[in-house]
Amino acid sequence: MQVTDEERAAEFADRLEELLLEVGSVFPRVELRHRAAACIRGLLAPLSRKNGWQLAEYAGDRDPDGQQHLLARGRWDADELRDFTRRYVIAGLDDGGAGPGPDGAGVLVIDETGFAKKGRASAGVARQYSGALGGVFPCQVGVMAAWATTAGQALIDRELYLPKEWTGDRARCRAAHVPDGVGFQVKPRQAEAMIERIVPDLPQGRVWVAADEVYGRDGAFRSFLEQHHLPYVVAVQANQTVLPRPGWRHLARLVERCAQEEDWIKLPAGPSQLDTRVFQWWVRRIPDPELETGEGAWTRWLIARRRPETPAERDFHLAWGPEGTSVEELIAVTGARWAVEVAIKLAKQAAGMADYEVRSFHGWYRHVSLAQLAAAFLAVQAAEAAREQDDNNNPPPAERGGPASRHHTHPGGLQPL
């Protein structure tokens, strides 16, 4: 029997109410629970903007005072909501070990995004670079973490980046309600703090980390991942050094000298909104006398990528993980890095994450945390709908080949340098 659109909408609404009931424990007072529920419903509503006035009007309020109280003065813990969202996403996007990474691992992706903001009063606002905004603009920058599986992706953590011009001006910080104990941290250190609190909730032994160049070029960040025994694929700069041999240290120079035209392999890096991303890849193991060898050993790789139509334009990655990892698996982790962009786009466009008007430090965390939960609900419901459709239309995974069908090594692809 075919399910009607009305029945789907009713089921969607019922599941939302179940989520709001469950998350109510984060908000200790009845009034706050009602305000938070109204806020999340509004963040999911088809509104042109999801600021205080529009959320209030959608909730039937005469003014935005209730929404402002929720974000500014109400007594509740945004970090508790963050932790709830993380657990909800991990459970809702569980793919039973068929993830995009090696051996069905999920991928924890670190990236950042900008929030256009003018003036000097909003916590962290400064002229700074934002790839999301396309250059250097007055903005706030949030460091984001997303969890990606074959079931979908969603944001599960956030940190507001405070430039030195802020942390060096304590009067300005106090005016924006930045706690006195919050000092300057570069983005990789913020990412490390997020990873430390996220990893205990993730499937043990089934996690890879992916990150863009801001984090990958930071040697301390890579060392942090290795100390925590977290395999990774991270973007790095072309002048990243990998070998001590004179003249061969920079990645770009090394690839230029060593990569033969026939060595480049054409493989997809995962789906995009338009199609599958197909690039040409050159992957080699990096000799490292300090790493263990033999059964169960881990190793390093360098990964160069180019588009077939512009072969001279290349970007580079470093990877570290179990020695038996195949080229296809490494590239799958590299491609999963785009999952965080998809998750950020969903949170901004469908859940109003960038529509806030708060200026305070804690107000930013509160709004972003509420928006991340709203976006997580959409991601989990999409995953559930896909599972139901798959159950109805396809045979069980054992009959059509699971993640093991991907686990083969491209001939010559993992040769050492």
Q: DSSP secondary-structure letter at 250?
A: B
Cα–Cα distance measured from residue 100 to residue 107, given in angstroms and rounded to the nearest whole number:
7
**How much is the pLDDT for 162?**
97
For the cut 80, the answer to whether the pLDDT of residue 72 exceeds it is yes
Instruction: Give the residue, 98 or 112, on which the prediction is more confident.
Output: 112
User: pTM score > 0.75 for this model?
Assistant: yes
Percent of the chain predicted with pLDDT > 70: 88
**How much is the pLDDT for 180?**
93
248 falls in which pLDDT band (50, 70, 90)? low
pLDDT in tens, 119-143: 889 999 999 998 888 899 999 999 9
Cα–Cα distance measured from residue 164 to residue 62, given in angstroms and rounded to the nearest whole number:
40
Tell me which of 98-112, 224-238, 272-286, 386-400 is least confident. 386-400
What are the φ and ψ backbone dihedral angles of 53, each rounded to 5 degrees? Answer: -65, -45
Q: How far is CA 392 from the centre of its chain?
A: 31
CB 328 within 8 A of CB 406: yes
Give the mean model confidence (pLDDT) for residues 71-98.
95
Give the mean model confidence (pLDDT) for residues 317-334.
93
- DSSP H or E run through 321: strand 310-322
**How much is the pLDDT for 4?**
62
For the cut 60, the answer to whether the pLDDT of residue 402 exceeds it is no
Give the mean model confidence (pLDDT) for residues 359-364.
96
Provide the mean pLDDT of the chain: 89
Cα–Cα distance measured from residue 281 to residue 297, given in angstroms and rounded to the nearest whole number:
24
Give the mean model confidence (pLDDT) for residues 160-186.
96
406 falls in which pLDDT band (50, 70, 90)? very low
Amino acid at 228: H
- Provide the greatest CA pair distance for the chain: 71
**How much is the pLDDT for 100?**
84
Cα–Cα distance measured from residue 212 to residue 320, given in angstroms and rounded to the nearest whole number:
15
Burial of 230 (0-12, 13-18, 19+ CB in 10 A): middle
401 falls in which pLDDT band (50, 70, 90)? very low
pLDDT in tens, 286-323: 887 666 665 668 999 999 999 988 999 999 999 999 98
- Beta-bridge partner residues of 303: 283, 317
Instruction: Give the residue, 354 or 404, on which the prediction is more confident.
Output: 354
pLDDT in tens, 10-57: 888 999 999 999 999 999 999 999 999 999 999 999 999 999 999 999
Give the mean model confidence (pLDDT) for residues 145-165.
97
276 falls in which pLDDT band (50, 70, 90)? low
266 falls in which pLDDT band (50, 70, 90)? very high
For the cut 50, the answer to whether the pLDDT of residue 408 exceeds it is no
